[in-house]
Structure 1
Amino acid sequence: MRIALLTEGVHPYAQRAGGGWCRRLVEGLAEHEFQLHLLAGDGGGSGGGGGAGEGPATYGPATYELAMWGRRPAGRGPAAHRRRAYVRAYRELVRALVLPGERGSFASGLYRLAELTRQDGALPAFLASGHAQRVLEREWRAPGADTAAGQPLVRDVLVAGDLLEQCLRPLSAPWYGPGPGRLGAVDLCHVVGGGPAALPALVAKRLHGVPFVVTEHGLHLREQYRSYRSAPYRWPVRALLLSFFRLLTEETYREAAVLTPGSAYDQQWQQRCGADPARTRVVHEGTEAVGREAAGVEPEQPVLVWAGALEPGRDADLMLHAYARVRAELPGARLLVYGEESAPGYLDHCKAIAERLELGEGVRFAGLPESTAQAWAAGTVVVFTGLTQRSPRLLADAMLSGRAVISTEVGVAREVVGPSGLLVPPRDPAALAGACLALLRDEERRARFGLAGRLRAQERFAVAPVVTAFREIYLELVSHWPAFPAVDGADGGVPRPFARPAEYWVAGAMAEAH
């Protein structure tokens, strides 16, 4: 069957890279014909125009790029007689973003803008025009509008209008229709990452009846809420953009044929955002690291390894305070802290704590390791102390090393570690120190946990089960979905594989036989 992979490239605040995962999926499902539609950062090999490129060597399929961020695409605004239709549709969309009672009009405004720009391609120019800015300012300042406890200034209107234009660019992408490389000619769409990458899938379903699957390894909406906390915009702008992402997420979950979160933890978040449990199936993110050999012999001295970004959310403070208790009972124990500072001043903060606790040479801030495998091999026990644990990737990687793992019981930790490691409450240095001492003093238990963790990670995060899961999802989805020929019939009557459910051909054969 023909499958369009839709994903987003580099985002200014929330970077997500799905390239390696997409490559593994394409290589594992060689029987299908894939094409990659990429929302790039500021243009790419196809110049942001959406044309077909040869595709990066790691992908294989033809690649079509659209510049999401940066300079607005060239083009003229709508004609005067069509401008009124654009204004009405945009007003409907903006009112859904700022007025709590108008949330239901988001989808109709969105699809109306998509229909209008498909006819003349004037949406980017319209959104940058004074007409759109006046609509945004008038509705944003209307009585009852949600402005996050602050009235929008003129500069807020200009900034928010520019950001909305960039978020809505996929509506005017040259990807729709029944021609080669267009979404109307595929059997289904697969959205990887959510967010604006889902816009083309929503439009393709609306225009051509093409169903779509959504895969999220870490929820797009949750990452937007985190990233916009530090975005250089005033609160009214942040509230408006987060409202857009929230409503887009709800519409995506409502229209998706199948949702495949990367963990049960993410599945719960999706259901809080309106996802239907009956259309949700957890598919863990596969990793090629399952074939990596286990770490070798443990170091001669007991060593605790902590790895992660140096920021408050990872709570390296907890590790330092727990290590102080461990060292008091096991003076020979050492602590290795691997990671790069992602919050300014946090590394100095951690060093000040180590100095105050008189940890001396027992703790070493080792920076970024050459590889995660090298970091795990340098320790006796691996410890995670985050206040949240949104992704299973690093936990699974540590378990694949064969080292015993201790983690705070947050996020996906229980789901990933299970009975193959120790879980402790967050922000509890006494409990963490007790868990560390228990494993450092018991070599047999460490070995048992290490082997159990490695086997558990290999079983759950191998690439083959992921490929098998999506092979089944694709076939089940297309076999049950009603026939969806292109709207204008430009195929010329040429049959396409899976363009109709299997029952159609069986019934036809029986009728012909009689």
Structure 2
Amino acid sequence: MRVTLITDDSYPYVKGGPGDWCHRLVHGLDRHTFHVVALGSHERREAAYTLPPNALLHPLGDRRPAPAGRLARHGRRRAATTAAVLLCRGLLTDGEQGAAMFAESLRLLADLAAAGGAPLRGVPLPDVLLDAWQAARCEPALPRLSVRDARRAADHLDRALRPLAVRPPAADLCHAVAAGPALLVALATRWRAGTPLLLTEDRPPALDAADGTPAVKAVLLRYHRALRRLGYAEAALVASASRFHQRWELRDGADPAKVVVVPGGVEPVRYAPLETEPPAPAVVWVGQIAPHKDLHTLIRAFHRVREAVPHAGLTLAGPTTDIGYLDTCRRLVERLRLGDSVTFAGPAPSSREAYAAGHVVASSSIAEHTPDALVEAMLCARPTVSTDVGAVAEAVGDAGVVVPPGDPVALGAACVELLHDPERRRRLGAAGRARALRLFTVDGMRRAYDHLYRDVAA
């Protein structure tokens, strides 16, 4: 079967996260031929992954020039303006009427994009957006939209819709990894060629202008929500990474009969159980050092651990994505006088080596979509203490300790209890490995997607 796998500039160019997920999927499904469309790949020179023989990397598609004649340009501009009006009014109109206008606008823009170029080129989109904003009657009420806000939001929308011009190769189905630009490509292909669509989601789409004004954020939030809802309506099936993700998909209007939960998979052979513990009591954390990991709470929790277990150590292993946040963590360690008991280890050669540095694996995140690090720790038979966010409690089940987010007292107490109780550590570690082997193996994920591909293509 020919599968067009569409990614948002991740696989095969970016290590980790969605890139790892795609690589594991493609490598194990040899009976299928994958045409990988990596949005943004034209800006990169080297791939982070070597594609297997059953996968081919395709350029972004046919970029034929738009019609050059004056009458053709005038007709194109008029059609694009009509689509822009439907787009803006669809974003700002609640209910089925708004959804219908949004869908019609994208269909028109996909037709225009097929002729080449940015589909909204030549359209006074800021003016169209301002007109729609003034006419909108939304609940909750919209914030004030200035001319500057309209220009900025219009610029984001213009760039966001350009993937409609991408023309992937002919295939039996399109598999969009995330409801963003990849979904736009899959929708356009469905409308042009009738190619069925499978949508995978393991996290909400990122907001394109996190530092924008409330009005700009409102435009983009409504755009992403409308696009997701359209994707759920057009997709043959929606593969959700967890029941947590499935719940917000259903709240956004997905048909329950279409949504299938397929957890991400890990290679068990890479995470053999750890048979020994370090000589001194230790807590280890593994991940990317970033604000949403809430290491401040973990460091404050460890301060309480040291009061109960004086010789305990804390190892923070992983790359830094926010240098400023790393500096705040170091300053907090100094302020709490934790000294050398906290180690910023940087990226470990392997996750298993990082988990081997602790008796307990802790996670303090305030936002966590798919807790891959916890699944890896469970496979290594290390007991986990984690915050109840996202799909964490669902992944851990009764094989770990879950505490409220942002609570250093509860997090510290749970770590202390496990450090004092080797038998419970052993029991939770064994239960965690058994649970991970049952629910989160890459072979299970591949088998599930093999069945989904057949169902979608049929």
TM over 0.5, yes or no? Answer: yes
Matched, 1:191 2:184: no
Q: CA separation in 2, counterparts of 1:17 and 1:352?
A: 29
Aligned to 1:506: none
How far apart are 1:465 and its partner, in Å? 1.0
Question: Counterparts in 2 of 1:93-492, with a 5 A limit?
Answer: 93-100=87-94, 103-104=98-99, 105-118=101-114, 120-121=115-116, 124=118, 127-129=120-122, 131-142=124-135, 144=137, 149-153=143-147, 155-175=148-168, 181-182=169-170, 186-220=171-205, 223-224=206-207, 228-230=209-211, 233-343=212-322, 345-479=324-458
Aligned to 1:503: none
Q: Deviations over 1:104-147 (max 9, x none)?
A: 310011112222443x335x1x6232544543444345565899
**Cα distance change on mapping 1:322 and 1:467 into 2, 3 Å:** same
Q: CA separation in 2, counterparts of 1:369 and 1:23?
A: 21
How far apart are 1:379 and its partner, in Å? 0.9
Instruction: Compute the RMSD of aligned alpha carbons.
Output: 3.1
User: How many residues were matched structurally?
Assistant: 448
Matched, 1:88 2:101: no
Q: CA separation in 1, counterparts of 2:54 and 2:457?
A: 23
Q: Deviations over 1:36-92 (max 9, x none)?
A: 22212554579xxxxxxxx9634742322329xxxx996557422343222212211
**Cα distance change on mapping 1:436 and 1:98 into 2, 3 Å:** same
Q: CA separation in 2, counterparts of 1:121 and 1:158?
A: 23
Q: CA separation in 2, counterparts of 1:135 and 1:304?
A: 56
Q: CA separation in 2, counterparts of 1:32 and 1:399?
A: 31
How far apart are 1:249 and its partner, in Å? 0.6
How far apart are 1:285 and its partner, in Å? 1.0
Q: CA separation in 1, counterparts of 2:318 and 2:424?
A: 28
Unaligned 5+ residue runs, structure 1? 47-54, 176-180, 480-514
How far apart are 1:298 and its partner, in Å? 1.0
How far apart are 1:452 and its partner, in Å? 1.9
Cα pair 2:242 2:262 within 8 Å, conserved: yes
Aligned to 2:21: 21
Cα pair 2:282 2:357 within 8 Å, conserved: yes
**Cα distance change on mapping 1:361 and 1:39 into 2, 3 Å:** closer
State TM-score, norm by structure 2. 0.87
**Cα distance change on mapping 1:157 and 1:10 into 2, 3 Å:** farther
Q: CA separation in 2, counterparts of 1:250 and 1:392?
A: 25
**Cα distance change on mapping 1:354 and 1:20 into 2, 3 Å:** closer
Q: CA separation in 2, counterparts of 1:16 and 1:288?
A: 14
Cα pair 1:44 1:65 within 8 Å, conserved: no
Cα pair 1:98 1:147 within 8 Å, conserved: no
Unaligned 5+ residue runs, structure 2? none
Question: Counterparts in 2 of 1:17-96, with a 5 A limit?
Answer: 18-40=18-40, 43=43, 57-58=51-52, 60-66=54-60, 75=66, 78-96=72-90
Q: CA separation in 2, counterparts of 1:280 and 1:434?
A: 38
Q: In structure 2, the residue corresponding to 1:127 is in which secondary structure?
A: coil
How far apart are 1:402 and its partner, in Å? 1.9
Residue identity matched to 1:167: A
How far apart are 1:151 and its partner, in Å? 2.5
How far apart are 1:384 and its partner, in Å? 1.0
Cα pair 2:84 2:123 within 8 Å, conserved: no
How far apart are 1:315 and its partner, in Å? 2.4
Matched, 1:4 2:10: no
Q: CA separation in 2, counterparts of 1:271 and 1:464?
A: 27
How far apart are 1:150 and its partner, in Å? 3.0
Q: In structure 2, the residue corresponding to 1:419 is in which secondary structure?
A: coil
Cα pair 2:65 2:116 within 8 Å, conserved: no
**Cα distance change on mapping 1:157 and 1:41 into 2, 3 Å:** farther
Residue identity matched to 1:151: L
Q: In structure 2, the residue corresponding to 1:5 is in which secondary structure?
A: strand
% of aligned pairs identical? 36
Q: CA separation in 1, counterparts of 2:42 and 2:142?
A: 30
